[in-house]
Amino acid sequence: MDISEKILALKSEKPVTILAHYYTPLGVHKIADRIGDSLGLSKIAKNEVDTDYIVFAGVLFMAETASILNQSKKILSPDKTAGCPLASFLTGKKIEEYKLKYPGIPVAVYVNTTAETKAHADVCCTSSNSIEITQKIAEEWNTDTVLFGPDKNLASYVRNRTSLKIISIPGNGNCPRHNLFSKQDVEKAKKDHPDAVVLVHPESPPEVQEMADFIGSTAGMLNYSYEHENEGGYIIGTEVGLMEHMKWKSPQKLFFPLNTNALCENMKKITLEKVLNVLKSIGTSEEKQYEVKVPKPIAEKALISINKMIEIS
Ligand code: SF4
């Protein structure tokens, strides 16, 4: 039995559902029950999972979001050290400092934040609904200004598509993987694959977004690749895991990375070996070490900003 077969056998014996993010290794996608982006998976965890345990194959803030939305389920992370440098840019304490500096201005945060950060925000947003959410929260607060964090590139994406004054907090926040994309990468990729279309994530720098044929979330890019037939292929400007997923799902199509270094080492910490270990721990005294449980007071406050997003989007 290889490791994937062992995981599938063990999974069928235990009350568990495995959810995997697109950026985890492809082997993990193949043994997962569901694959998706961070908020999509958390919604699946809340509305569509009937097992007592969820193994969340993704970085820690994603497992935290699942915990916020599912306080009654046990959320297990194969590796709790899998953090997110983007999420680390903005803490609840920093948000409180900005609120003092800009009284009466709402704070919108990207879902790529810790539970503690979400607990201090007024509303959450995803890359797909960021424009709509910022416009609606500004309208509700009767202001033309929104404090937006932590990703400066997503902030710029929103600023360029609304008439709002978007103040990026903390100003220099970025995902090191998406922020490395450059104009030169796009020029080279277009030269190498002249008939390919360029798809980029809004966490990419503005000058890269400007050169793209399509800007969208991971799910948006995936849907684009399903819905469009482009013989020249697709240049993918996001973490390389999504491109590997696309190749797996559409083997007849051509996919090229915008930059092969766009590899999130934290997502790649979620290996098959670790998934097997976490499954083995279920129902034993070992499971505690894998559990991600956001304390109730923080979860309740964070849920307000998540529910606000759901309410106004
Ligand atoms: Fe964080 Fe970027 Fe990795 Fe996503 S790809 S988990 S935003 S560091």
pLDDT in tens, 214-259: 999 999 999 999 999 999 999 999 999 999 999 999 999 999 999 9
**Residues 73-112 pLDDT 10s:** 999 999 999 999 999 999 999 999 999 999 999 999 999 9
Residue 176 near residue 102, CB atoms below 8 Å: no
Task: Name the fold adopted by 86-175.
Answer: Rossmann fold (3.40.50)
Q: Which residues of the chain are in CATH 3.40.50.10800 domains?
A: 3-82+267-293, 86-175, 181-257
CATH architecture classification, 3-82+267-293 = 3-Layer(aba) Sandwich (3.40)
Structure tokens at 170: 């903390």
Residue 107 CA to ligand 1 centre (angstroms): 21
Place of tokens 């990419």: 204
59 lines ligand 1 (CB under 6 A): yes
- Core vs surface per residue 12-45: b (16+ CB within 10 A) or e: eebebbbbbbbbbbebbbebbbbbbbbbbbbebb
- Determine which residue's CA is closest to atom 7 belonging to ligand 1: 175
Please state, in angstroms and rounded to a whole number, the distance separating the CA atoms of residues 72 and 21.
22
Residue 35 near ligand 1, beta carbon < 6 Å = no
Q: Which CATH number fits domain 181-257: 3.40.630.30, 3.40.50.10800, 1.10.760.10, 3.30.70.260?
A: 3.40.50.10800
**Which numbered atom of ligand 1 lies nearest the CA of 23?**
5
* 312 has pLDDT over 90: no
pLDDT at 43 over 90: no
Token pair in block for residue 212: 């793209």
Contact predicate 155/117, CB 8 Å = no
Dihedral, 149, 142, 313, 213 alpha carbons, nearest 10: -60
Query: Helix or strand or coil: residue 218?
Result: helix
Ligand 1: residue whose CA is nearest its atom 6: 84
Pocket test for ligand 1, best of 22, 60, 267 (most atoms within 8 A of CB): 267
